[in-house]
Chain A
């Protein structure tokens, strides 16, 4: 079964510094990978996806993610963090013929002013 792992429950980064939120995946075939963000008291918002093609994927709000097949990773990155980036981030993988998405447990990102 396909799965994703987010090894960090929480990541703290100073404003203006680069940030990385880690994700590793386990799939039997080609992975379709996603990042979603959840702001307090809000729903899930799509950030970016990797289906095929360039390993570096650019998404919303200045975020990007790098697909690394050899390390089975899909880490989320941003060159310069903003306080408003503080939220819960979910890595996810697509599974099955019906495109069911399997989510990681989430990583809480705190950007310190």
Chain B
């Protein structure tokens, strides 16, 4: 059964550094999403992406964040200058028609 995959599983970075989190959505899916979960807190929506552009973003998704679909398979989340409070588990998700999300296993980002 096809799955959403994410790399790396764990990323440690220093404050102020740029990080890129990578996701490979399910191949026939058209909608892509990033969510995050700060340890012990609820899962929060970051951004949705469709037809090669951002369709919706949350307040969390400020100018430090960007998303890109650089080729036909990858979907990336870039954090330009990481802050301590960016430490979280980041989940990529995709859907075919928007009703059911297939989530990836997550990337744990630790900012030191």
A residues near B, CB below 8 A? 32, 34, 36, 42-46, 49, 51, 90, 94, 96, 98-106
Contact = CB atoms under 8 A, between A and B. Distances in A.
Given A44-B91, A98-B31, A106 B106 contact: no
Contacts of A36: 103
B25 interface: no
Contact of A51 (B41, B43, B99): B99
Contacts of B35: 101, 103
A95 B56 CA distance: 11
A49 B56 contact: no
B98 interface: yes
A67 to B, nearest CB: 16
Contacts, number: 60
Contacts of B93: 44
Interface size bracket, B side: 20 to 34
B95 interface: yes
A64 to B, nearest CB: 17
B98 A46 contact: no
B45 interface: yes
Given A45-B103, A46-B100, A101 B45 contact: yes
A20 B56 CA distance: 34
27 contacts: A32-B99, A42-B105, A43-B6, A43-B103, A43-B106, A44-B101, A45-B103, A46-B101, A46-B102, A49-B99, A49-B100, A51-B99, A94-B99, A96-B56, A98-B48, A98-B50, A98-B55, A99-B48, A99-B99, A100-B45, A100-B56, A102-B45, A103-B35, A103-B45, A104-B42, A105-B42, A106-B43
